[in-house]
Amino acid sequence: MEPRVTDNPEQSRFEIFDGESGELAGFAEYERSNGQVAFTHTEIDPRFEGRGLGGRLVRGALDSAREAHLEVLPFCSFVRSWIGKHPEYIALVPEDRRPRFQL
C-alpha cells in the first residue's frame, strides 16, 4: 500500500501516513489566508526517515495548493529546498516573493 497524504484543516497541516502500518509518519504545517498558503514547518517522525516520505508529503501538499489555485509561501526550509530541486513547482511561489525565498 502506498503512503497517503491528506489535508487536516482542523490542525492546519498536511499529514502523511505510512503505507504499511497506516501510522502518522509526518506533517507539514501551514497557514492559509488571502489566496495563499504559507508552509511554516515540516516534520517526519524519525522512525520513518530515509524513505522519501518528506518529499511525497511536500509534493502532495503543493499539488493540493495548485488544485486550489493558492500561491505558496515556503517559509519552511524543507519545503523551500524541495521546490528549489523541483522547478516545475516554482511557479506556485509568487514571482515577486521568489527572491525572498532564494528561488
Average pLDDT over residues 82-102: 98
Q: Does the pLDDT value for residue 97 go beyond 90? A: yes
**CATH architecture type of domain 4-101:** 3-Layer(aba) Sandwich (3.40)
Q: In sequence order, what DSSP letters do the residues of 42-100 get, joined into one string? A: EEE-GGGTTSSHHHHHHHHHHHHHHHTT-EEEE-SHHHHHHHHH-GGGGGGS-GGGTGG
Banded pLDDT at 2 (limits 50, 70, 90): very high
Structure confidence at residue 64 (pLDDT):
98
CA distance 70 to 82: 18
CA distance 68 to 64: 6
Length of the chain: 103
Give residue limits of the domains in the chain: 4-101
Phi-psi region of 77 (alpha: psi -120 to 50; beta: other; left: phi over 0): alpha
Structure confidence at residue 36 (pLDDT):
98
Give the tens place of pLDDT for each residue, 38-60: 999 999 999 999 999 999 999 99
Q: Does the pLDDT value for residue 78 go beyond 90? A: yes
Q: Does the pLDDT value for residue 1 go beyond 90? A: no
